[in-house]
Amino acid sequence: MKKISLLFILFIGLMNAQKLTPSEISMINQGDKNSALPIYQTTDENQHKTLLNLSAEIDPLDKNTAVLVSRMKESLLSTDGGVGIAAPQVGINRKVIWVQRFDKKGEPLEYFINPVIVWRSELQNLGPEGDLSIPDFRDQFYRSKVIQLEYVDLKGQKYSEIVEGFTAVIFQHEIDHLFGILISDKKEKEKNDSYQKVDAFKKSDSGMR
In the predicted structure, residue 31 carries a pLDDT above the cut 60: yes
**Among candidate residues 131, 100, 94, the one with its CA nearest the CA of residue 208:** 131
Q: Residue 66 falls within a domain, yes or no?
A: yes
Q: Report yes or no on 3 lying in a domain.
A: no
pLDDT digits (tens, 9 = 90+) for 141-195: 999 999 999 999 999 999 999 999 999 999 999 999 999 999 999 877 666 655 4
Question: What CATH number is attached to the domain comprising 105?
Answer: 3.90.45.10
Q: Rounded mean pLDDT of the chain?
A: 89
Q: Is 48 a member of any domain?
A: yes
Report the domain count for the chain: 1
d(CA 43, CA 23): 23
CA–CA gap between residue 193 and residue 177 (Å, rounded): 21
Least confident of 3-7, 128-132, 139-143, 163-167: 3-7
- Which domain covers residue 56, as residue numbers? 34-191
**170 within a domain of the structure (yes/no):** yes
Rounded CA-CA distance 89/208 in Å is 12
Residue 90 lies in a domain: yes
Inside any domain, residue 1: no
Please check whether residue 68 lies inside any domain of the structure: yes
| 91 within domain boundaries | yes
User: Which residues are tagged catalytic?
Assistant: 174
Burial 179-192 (b: 16+ CB within 10 A, else e): ebbbbeeeeeeeee
Q: pTM for the full model? A: 0.85
